[in-house]
Amino acid sequence: MRQRLLILAVSLAAAAALAGCGSPAADNASGPSTTEAVSPPTTGRPCSEGGTNTAEPSFYQDQFSTQAEPLSRDIATYRTAVTADDNQAIQDASSTLYSEITVGLTMAQNGSWGCYSPLALQDLETATNEVAPLFNDLDAAESECCGHTSAEAPALIEQITPKLADYINTLNAYSAQFGGEQV
C-alpha cells in the first residue's frame, strides 16, 4: 500500500521561502505544482548515514521517474526560453529548476531513490550545489531583486550551460545505479 506525499509542493514553497525573492515556482503555470511520491521502505537512516535499500529496484525507478520526467520537460522549457531570449520564461524556468534540482538532491539523500554508491551521491551533491544557486541567481536577476539586475542574466546563462550539462550527466550516472530513466 502506498502513501502519497506531495513532496514537491512543500519543497517548492520551502525553496521559494529560502530564496527570499523571485517568483515562487509553484506559481509557474508551465511548471509542476505538485509531484506525488511514495515513502520508500527504509532502514530508518539516510543514505549518507549508511541507509540500505529494502525495496525492489523497480520501486526506486518509479520514485525517480516522478522527478525525472518533469525535470526533463522543464530543462527543455528553460533551453527554449533561453533560445527565444524570453526573460519572463527564463525567470519562470529558473525558479522551477532551482526547486526541482534541490528537491532531487533531498530525495537522493533521504533514500527515496535508494542508497547506492556514496561517491555517486557526493558527486550529485557537488553538481547540485554548483548549478542550483546559479538558477536561483538567474531568477533573481530576471526579476531584478535581491541586489541582482537583468544585466547579469547573460553571464549567468553562460555559467549555467556547462554546469547544467554536468548536473544532468551526474544525475544520469546516479540513476544508472538502479536502472532509472535518463534525463
- What fold characterizes domain 56-183? Four Helix Bundle (Hemerythrin (Met), subunit A) (1.20.120)
* pTM reported for the whole predicted model: 0.77
Per-residue pLDDT of the chain (183 residues; tens, 9 = 90+): 333 333 333 343 334 433 445 444 433 434 433 344 455 555 556 777 777 788 888 999 999 999 999 999 999 999 999 999 999 999 999 999 999 999 999 989 888 888 888 899 999 999 999 999 999 999 999 999 999 999 999 999 999 999 999 999 999 999 999 899 999
Spell out a b/e string for 86-121, using b for 16 or more CB atoms within 10 Å of the CB, else e.
eeebbbbbbbbbbbbbbbbbebbbbbbbbbbeeebb
Which residues are CB-neighbours of 138 under 8 A, at least 6 positions away? 90, 91, 94, 153, 156, 157, 160
Residue 77 · residue 30 · CB < 8 Å: yes
- Domain ranges (residues) in the chain: 56-183
Which residues are CB-neighbours of 172 under 8 A, at least 6 positions away? 182, 183
